[in-house]
Amino acid sequence: MSIAVLYGGNRPNGNTEMLTKLVIQGLPVEEIYLKDYVIEPIEDKRHAKEGFPEIQDDYNSIIDRILEHDILIFTTPIYWYSMTGIMKNFIDRWSQTLKDEKYPDFKKQMSQKRAFVIAVGGDTPRIKGLPMIQQFQHIFDFIGIRFDGYLIGEGNKPGEIAQDKNALAIAEQLRKQLQ
């Protein structure tokens, strides 16, 4: 069982990253910090005659890396009650990959994976973060990934997540589940 972690945040050592590290400690994982790559927003050419243009950025290389793994962990701070724009731009591009001749089996390959979501927010995230969880469910349903669990933590200032005993308890469960 091989794991890729996709980080959506843009703060080093943020609460979301800290919580994720608790979940994956001791497990072999490939960690991908989306902020370190150039990922262009999708240009919607699904219905254009010419189709999608080839984009010269880092997006495909990340797709190549996640396709190697069985489990994908999407981990994002909750910015304005949803995933970060960085992570959203990454997912938006899946529409292009679904039409990309270089990835004829993209949906099939994705549908053999399982996903988890880890998110930390500062404003009652276990309530106001729920629409985001529902969106991830819709996203995973569409692409065919099985959504195996999520973990929402509460924290604002760096390090505050360590006070969220509820989140720490679930993190420990998740860690055991991933072993």
C-alpha span between 90 and 156 (Å, rounded): 25
Q: Give the number of residues in contact with its own copies, rule: CB under 8 A.
A: 55
Residue nearer to its own copies on the CB measure, 1 or 169: 169
Choosing from 103, 106, 116, 150, the residue that interacts with its own copies (CB under 8 A) is: 150
Nearest-approach distance from CB 80 to its own copies, in angstroms: 5
Choosing from 132, 145, 161, 178, the residue that interacts with its own copies (CB under 8 A) is: 132
Q: Which residues are CB-neighbours of 179 under 8 A, at least 6 positions away?
A: 27
Q: Is 27 in the site for its own copies (CB under 8 A)?
A: no
Residue nearer to its own copies on the CB measure, 4 or 83: 83
Q: Which residues within the stretch 96-125 sit at the binding site for its own copies (CB under 8 A)?
A: 123
Q: Is 42 in the site for its own copies (CB under 8 A)?
A: yes
What 3 state SS string does the chain have?
CCEEEEECCCCCCCHHHHHHHHHHCCCCEEEEEHHHCCCCCCCCCCCCCCCCCCCCCCHHHHHHHHHCCCEEEEEEECECCECCHHHHHHHHCHHHHCCCCCCCCHHHHHCCCEEEEEEEECCCHHHHCHHHHHHHHHHHHHHCCEEEEEEEEECCCCCHHHHCHHHHHHHHHHHHHHC
The site string for its own copies over 43-82 (x = CB under 8 A, - otherwise) reads: xxx-x-----------------------------x-xxxx
Task: Please report, as ranges, the residues that interact with its own copies according to CB under 8 A.
Answer: 9-11, 14, 35, 41-45, 47, 77, 79-86, 88-92, 94-95, 123, 126-128, 130-135, 137-139, 142, 147, 149-150, 156-158, 165-166, 169-170, 172-173, 176-177
